[in-house]
Structure 1
Amino acid sequence: MAAFASRASSQAMLAVVSGRRRMGKTYLLRALAEQTQGLYFGATAATAAESLRQLGAAVADYLGAPAPFTFATWDDAVTFLFGLADPTRGDGPQVVVLDEFPYLAKVVPELPSLIQREIDRHQTQPSRMRLLLCGSAMSVMGNLLAGSAPLRGRAQLELVVRPFDFTAAARFWEVADRPDLAARLGAVLGGTPAYRRQFLADDVPRDLADFGDWVCRAVLSPRSPLFREARYLLAEETDIRETSLYHSVLAAVAEGNTTRGGIAGYIGRKAVDISHPLNVLEDSHLLTREADIFRQGKSRYRIAEPLITFYEAIMRPAWGRLELGQADRVWAASAERFAAQVAGPHFEAMCREYLLGDGSHLAHGSLGEVGAGVVTDTHTRTSVEVDAAVVERGSGGRRPRIALLGEAKWGTTMGLPHLDRLLRARDTLAARGNDTDNCTLACFGAAGFTDHLKARAHQDDTVRLVSLADLYAR
Structure 2
Amino acid sequence: MAQLNRPAEMFDRDREWSALSAFAQDSSPGAALGIVSGRRRQGKTFLLRALCEAAGGFYFAAEEATDTESLNALGAALARHLDAPAPLHFTDWGAVIDALLALGRERAVPVVLDEFPYLARASPRLPSVIQNALAPLRPERDQSRTRLLLCGSAMSFMGRLLGGGAPLRGRAALELVVPTLDHQLAAQFWGIDDPVTALKVNAIVGGTPAYRREFVRDDTPQGPDDFDPWVLRTVLSPTSPLFREARYLLADEPDLRDTALYHSMLAAIASGNTTRGHIASYMGRKAGDLAHPLTVLEDCGLVLREPDSFRDNRTNFRISEPLITFHHAVMRPIWSDLEHTRDATRLWRGAQRRFTGNVLGPHLERVARHWLRHMAPEDLLSDLPSSVSSGTVNDPAHRTSHEVDVVAFGLDDDGSRPLLALGEVKWGDVMGHGHVDRLARIRELLAVQGRSGAADARLLCISAAGFTDELRERAAKDPAIRLISAGDLYT
Distance 1:360 1:378, change over 3 A: farther
Preserved CA contact (<8 Å) 2:265 2:283: yes
Superposition TM-score, scaled by structure 1 size:
0.96
Structure 1 residue 138: deviation in Å?
Answer: 0.5
Q: Structure 1 400/99 Cα, relative in aligned 2: closer, same or farther at 3 Å?
A: closer
The answer to whether the 8 Å contact 2:235/2:242 transfers is yes
Alignment of structure 1 residues 65-464 onto 2, 5 Å: 65-86=84-105, 90-91=106-107, 93-121=108-136, 125-175=142-192, 177-325=193-341, 326-361=343-378, 362-392=380-410, 396=414, 400-434=417-451, 435-464=453-482
User: What is the CA deviation profile of residues 253-303 of structure 1, one whole-angstrom value per residue up to 9, with x for unaligned ones?
Assistant: 011000011101101111111122211111111111111112223210001
SS in 1 for 2:454: coil
CA contact (8 A) 1:12 1:123 kept: no
Give the drift of 1:394.
6.4
Cα pair 1:12 1:122 within 8 Å, conserved = no
Distance 2:235 2:260 in 1: 22
Structure 2 contact 114–150 (Cα < 8 Å) conserved:
yes
- Secondary structure of the structure 2 residue equivalent to 1:420: helix
CA deviations 1:453-474 (Å, max 9, x no partner) are 111101101100000011112x
Q: For 2:45, give the aligned amino acid.
A: T
The corresponding residue for 1:470 is 488
Mapped to 2, the partners of 1:352 and 1:182 lie a distance apart of 17
Q: Is the 8 A contact 2:308 2:391 kept in 1?
A: yes
TM normalised by structure 2 equals 0.93
**Which whole-Å CA distance do the structure 2 matches of 1:2 and 1:171 have between them?**
25
Q: Structure 1: any 5+ residue segments left out of the alignment?
A: none
Partner of 1:52: 71
CA contact 1:293–1:391 (8 Å) conserved in 2: no
Number of residues of Structure 1 aligned to a counterpart in Structure 2: 467
- Paired residue secondary structure (1:444): strand
- Alignment partners' CA distance in 1, 2:207 and 2:337: 28
Contact preservation (8 Å) 2:383, 2:420: no
Give distance in 1, aligned partners of 2:245 and 2:186.
19
Does the 8 Å contact 1:347/1:408 carry over to 2? yes
1:360 and 1:366 in contact (8 A); partners too: no
Amino acid of the residue matched to residue 202 of structure 2?
A: G
2:376 aligns to what SS in structure 1? helix
Q: Distance in 2 between matches of 1:198 and 1:439?
A: 46
Distance in 2 of aligned mates of 1:425 and 1:358: 25
Q: Cα RMSD between the aligned structures? A: 1.5
* C-alpha distance after superposition, 1:78-134 (max 9, x if no partner): 121112223xxx13x121100000000000111100100111146783420211000
Deviation per residue, 1:293-339 (Å, 9 max, x gap): 12223210001000000000110000010011242121010111111
